[in-house]
Amino acid sequence: MENPRTGISRGCPFDCGICPNHKSHTVLAIIDVTNRCNLECPVCFANAATTGYVYEPSLNDIVKIIENLRSSRPVPAPALQFSGGEPTVREDLPLLVKSAKDRGFRHVEVNTNGIRLARDLDFFKRLIEAGMDTIYLQFDGLDDSIYEKTRGLPLLETKMAVIDNARKLGFESVVLVVTLVRGVNDHELGGIIRFALENSDVVRCVNVQPVSITGRINAEAREAMRINTTDFMELVQEQTSGLIRISDFFPVPSVIPVANSIGLMKSKEYPLFSTMPWCGVATFMVKGGEGWVPITKLADVEGFFETMDGVYRDLVEGHRIRARLRVMAALRHVKASFIKEVLWPVLKTGSYDALGRFMRRVVMVGCMHFMDPYNFDLQRLERCVIHYGLPDGTIRPFCSVNTLHRAEVEKKYSVPARTWKPPPQ
């Protein structure tokens, strides 16, 4: 980043802000718009709603955070998630979404447990009209006994109502976000993936997050509850009867050669998913004539990425003609039908709209393993691409905020719960 917000004095992770030592751009920015919540989830990494104080930045404060995130150079943050707490408890959430879109965020999503969106179709509609692109829907399984353990009460009917309301409103971008806990819902992965494929008219992704041992989770139980990315891949292979194999998953940074190459060809800089390889994995499911198959059935993904890395090297060395020829050569790794119908528009334009159309032809299945005090890794932290924008002007990695900085920042900008009053609407 050309304009870090803090200097280097105490060393990582205490200089987070972002300091000059940070090695990755912001790919997804997060703003916590409240710590209020309409649930008290036993597995809440934010420890929301039980702190004794209310953290709820004003509209003006949030606009300043948005502008700060968009001022990063050379690549402004392209995507923003409003999180909490539960963002939908704020009546002005549609205005926050519009403020972010007006200031250049191409993609704005709302992280939600779904309670309000299940009950209030008008509020859901106002969020869409304001420019909301995606719902990041808490979705731990297909059995109410799971929600009673992870969220404290049965919520399956609520989750189904959100899906139905999205369909009623023609909203086609719901991400199912699974907090994965060993012995609680690790047997549900296959069913959740099948549910996503069956509802692919509105569901775009299954994003699994192995439980982080922070917030309200009892640290003494961490060994019993701990589950990791390798466990996730093995369970998916087993529970989908081999439809999705371990070998179908690729580390998140695998896509860097494509972003680098398209960026140089288009004379643009794109944010890079330059995390450490063990931060997360993903694959895409594609619906074809034979039903749903992993993208690896339609392409030699590894060969494609390697060839695109050669394209990037050619471009850096000034061999533009050779690079373009190599792009064509890269396509030999992909079945012709998939190129024509899905992949070529993305490669041709490199546009966000083309990427959006691609995403609507597939369902992504991924796993992002966030850190906690028991598996903290400074190498991972320095390459984090998911950053919180905070009211003190800093921009800090997700895992450092939830492990080290959250309480300090929130207390500084909070008021006692007993004296807090909602702002006038």
List the structure tokens of 388.
């919180």
- Tally of domains within the chain: 1
Range of the domain at 92: 1-171+370-425
275: helix, coil or strand?
A: coil
Termini Cα distance of the chain: 38
Q: Is residue 192 assigned to a domain?
A: no
| Closest by Cα among 137, 149, 142, 117 to 41 | 149
List the structure tokens of 209.
């997050």
Q: Is residue 106 assigned to a domain?
A: yes
Residue that is written with structure tokens 């860097």 in the block: 256
3-state helix, strand, coil split of the chain in percent (to 5) is: 45, 15, 40
Q: Is residue 16 assigned to a domain?
A: yes
Domain of 152: which CATH number? 3.20.20
Residue that is written with structure tokens 């420019």 in the block: 131
| Closest by Cα among 208, 294, 306, 206 to 254 | 306
Q: Is residue 11 assigned to a domain?
A: yes
Instruction: Tell me how far apart the alpha carbons of residues 329 and 336 are, in angstroms, rounded to a whole number.
Output: 13
Q: Is residue 258 assigned to a domain?
A: no
Dihedral sign (CA 349, 352, 358, 361): negative
Instruction: Tell me how far apart the alpha carbons of residues 169 and 161 are, in angstroms, rounded to a whole number.
Output: 12
Instruction: Tell me how far apart the alpha carbons of residues 389 and 80 are, in angstroms, rounded to a whole number.
Output: 10
Q: What is the pLDDT along the chain (425 residues), one digit of tens a residue?
A: 789 999 999 989 988 889 999 999 999 999 999 999 988 777 665 555 556 889 999 999 999 999 999 999 989 999 999 999 899 999 999 999 999 999 999 999 999 999 999 999 999 999 999 999 999 999 999 999 999 988 989 999 999 999 999 999 999 999 999 999 999 999 999 999 999 999 999 999 999 999 877 655 566 677 788 899 999 999 999 999 999 999 999 999 898 887 888 777 777 777 788 899 989 999 999 987 778 999 999 889 999 889 888 988 888 888 888 888 888 888 788 887 776 666 666 666 666 676 666 667 789 999 999 998 888 999 999 999 999 999 999 999 999 998 888 888 888 999 888 888 877 66
Q: Is residue 123 assigned to a domain?
A: yes
Q: Is residue 264 assigned to a domain?
A: no
Instruction: Tell me how far apart the alpha carbons of residues 201 and 178 are, in angstroms, rounded to a whole number.
Output: 19
Q: Is residue 56 assigned to a domain?
A: yes
| pTM reported for the whole predicted model | 0.90
Strand partners, 175: 136, 205
Looking at 240-291, list the stretches that DSSP marks H as alpha helix, in order from N- to C-terminal side: 256-265
